[in-house]
Structure 1
Amino acid sequence: MKLSFFWSREFLLNRSFLWLLFLVNLAGTIYGYIWYEYQLIDTYNTHPLWRIVFVPDSPTASLFFTLALLYLLFPPHRPSRLVSIGRSILEALAVVCSVKYGLWAVAMIAAGAWQGADLNWKHYMLVTSHLGMAFEALLFFRFMKAGAAALIVATGWLFLNDTVDYTFGVFPTLADELDDDLSAVRAFTYGLSIFSLAAALHVWWWHRKKV
């Protein structure tokens, strides 16, 4: 069996593999929301309720991708225009959010370690899982219906999230070593939103060109 088989449509869209991927992502999503438990409680107690939506970045990205997998497991037959638009936006959110927050978490862990933060097994687990988020989103994007317009709309959500995070202080908890680098973290976060859009558009254009 050639290694390329594991990147093929036949393997990736196999229902057994899709169900496994769905369950893994669902479990990761639930764990992610549990990880944010204390920050969610603090935000609920000290901020207007609407800001709580912008707190759990990575698990929400994972949730988008988990839901997008359902379209591959149960593709709608003759969907209405509204359903098609909803699917495109959800898939676009799944891709740009997974790429952005997958890479963001790895970068923040690495930056903290560079400045002396201690790493434990949880950090290595987070690095592995978040790299997986970014990789699987770009890998499966070729099977999704989202196009350039949906990706741009989804990136608007990223910019809104960035603005709320760093205007009202509901961004993910950082290592103490990064507290004096908040302006650089904010600039990097906005830049990563643009990069995520560019990466998704590149994959979309490349696969569209092949068809």
Structure 2
Amino acid sequence: MNSIVNHIWLLLSHKSFLWILLFINILGTVYGYDWYMWQLEMTEPIYWIFVPDSPTASLFFSLAIIGWLIGRNFKLIEALALITLVKYGLWAVVMNLLTLYETGSIGWVGWMLIGSHFAMAVQAVLYSPLYRFKFRHIVIAGIWTLHNDVIDYVFKQMPIYYDLMKHMQQIGYFTFWLSVACIALAYVLWMKREKREII
């Protein structure tokens, strides 16, 4: 079993595969920013950086991949990638499923978003052996993530799902605890790596 896992990891961490993964994430990032253009057009410029959450998360991961390809670790970027990819990947899955519950249908685009965003969260965890971020990077990434929640749900800049706007208070509460869970995940992964390095 370990042999199979090792072979799979060798494939996933091979530079050729990382180039493919980078290409896919860049495409997803561009698509994501384009998806948010209509909301950005009605948003004050001061909030622009906080609106397209998912594509910014995949941008962080793309930059992390570039680092691995050139033999470097952009540690803060890695912490941001892990926390935000898992957070917004799972968040979008839940929002689309909630939309399905509310409306009875989300169409092929909705299912595509569920699949692609779930894959975002999976890849963030899957590549955790390559991360080299430290505790301070988790703190900075955690502050960024929670600050983004404040901008989204206090200053009303959250991604717009028209069918779900009546649930914004509950969604904001859920999002806050999802952020906390993702920050905790980064901390657990960091602690496990620290213990292995000590041993």
Matched to 1:203, the amino acid is: L
Measured at CA, do residues 195 and 7 of structure 1 come closer, stay the same or move farther in structure 2, by a change above 3 Å?
Answer: farther
Deviation at 1:181, TM superposition (A): 1.1
Deviation at 1:175, TM superposition (A): 4.1
CA deviation profile, 1:1-33 (whole Å, cap 9, x unmatched)? 96424542x222211000000000000000000
Measured at CA, do residues 14 and 162 of structure 1 come closer, stay the same or move farther in structure 2, by a change above 3 Å?
Answer: same
CA-based RMSD: 1.7
Matched to 1:184, the amino acid is: Q
Q: Distance in 1 between matches of 2:178 and 2:139?
A: 14
1:92–1:146 CA contact under 8 A, matched in 2: yes
The answer for unaligned runs of 5 or more in structure 1 is: 77-83
Q: Distance in 1 between matches of 2:158 and 2:8?
A: 35
Matched, 1:71 2:44: no
Matched, 1:89 2:59: no
1:147–1:204 CA contact under 8 A, matched in 2: yes
What residue in structure 1 maps to residue 18 of structure 2?
18
The answer for unaligned runs of 5 or more in structure 2 is: none
Deviation at 1:153, TM superposition (A): 1.1
Measured at CA, do residues 22 and 121 of structure 1 come closer, stay the same or move farther in structure 2, by a change above 3 Å?
Answer: same
CA deviation profile, 1:36-67 (whole Å, cap 9, x unmatched)? 11001111xxx2x2111111000000000000
Matched, 1:122 2:109: yes
Three-state SS of the structure 2 residue aligned to 1:168 is coil
Q: Which of the residues 46, 51, 55 maps onto 2:47?
A: 51
CA deviation profile, 1:166-200 (whole Å, cap 9, x unmatched)? 12221001141x22211100101111110101122
CA deviation profile, 1:85-144 (whole Å, cap 9, x unmatched)? xx2111110110101000100011111212234211111111111111111111112212
Q: Distance in 2 between matches of 1:121 and 1:5?
A: 35
What residue in structure 1 maps to residue 191 of structure 2?
205
Q: Distance in 1 between matches of 2:139 and 2:41?
A: 32
What TM-score do you get using the length of structure 1 for normalisation? 0.87
Matched, 1:194 2:180: yes
Q: Distance in 2 between matches of 1:58 and 1:69?
A: 17
Q: Distance in 1 between matches of 2:40 and 2:60?
A: 19
Question: Number of residue pairs matched?
Answer: 196
Three-state SS of the structure 2 residue aligned to 1:182 is helix
Q: Distance in 2 between matches of 1:22 and 1:6?
A: 21
Matched, 1:4 2:5: yes
What residue in structure 2 maps to residue 61 of structure 1?
57
